[in-house]
Structure 1
Amino acid sequence: MTPFIEKFPELFPNGIKEGYTMKEIRISKKTGIPTRRILVNGVSYTIRPSFVMPYHVAFSADAENAVFLRKFDVPFWALAHVFGKDAMYWYRIEQSLGRNSIIGTTINDPNLLPEHLAADEKHSRLKGSKVYIATTVGKNCIL
């Protein structure tokens, strides 16, 4: 990682040049791609590959053509017919494009961010089944 830290210091947390510790590697159940965690100044960070869509929903190359067709309002059921999966899968792919994690996003000018707003999707379990909980937070309140 050292060459990347030297070449792209803005992509890494402050203090990484003073040292970091490699932590565990987790394998995504969806893609089989490992994500690495590092420890910098007592804080854990996740390193994700760029060729995987946000939240490991798909490989970027596999979703590229379907996402392109959505630009022309091709319905999700038609994408499912042509590219496989189901309509909800392609809907989630499109939605994942707009849910970049604030924590995982490079911020060059923090003054451009809203002062009190965040949104994300929490993956959890309810009675043994996987569930998704959309969360929006603003002004110290979970909406």
Structure 2
Amino acid sequence: MVNLAGEEIAEAIKTQLERVKYSPALELDYMYNIAAIITTVGMVKNIPALKIIDNQLMALPSRLRPLLSYRYQLMGGPRELTEAVEKMVKEVLDTLYKIIEEIARKIKEKETLSTSDFDQELIALDDILTRVPSFRE
């Protein structure tokens, strides 16, 4: 029988997140690993909010990837546009990192988890999905 503690789960999430932080343009696919870990906790502990967070995290790489590459396409273009896109991408990624770190912290520190523990993260992820444009791939 395998027993996993919240600390181990949180550490796995943080390890994957560090890879994304290191190079978001190249390592964004590690978001899928983070989503898989979070949904597993949600399914095992019957926490619907974590299943919804998983769905939101699964949608983000395909929405963020065009923005990340668009930054490079803008090089040499209008400075204001380049700065605006850079600022938006940085804000979105920083917010996303904080959300994932908070989820990992709660998994590590809480004795028991419930859907209401993740209300703020759900709202914040929904805000990100609303702000980030949807591109056709």
* TM-score, structure 2 as length reference: 0.29
Higher relative contact order at CA 8 Å, sep ≥6: structure 1 or structure 2?
A: 2
Higher helix share: 2
Larger-gyration structure (1/2) = 1
* TM-score, structure 1 as length reference: 0.28
Higher strand share: 1
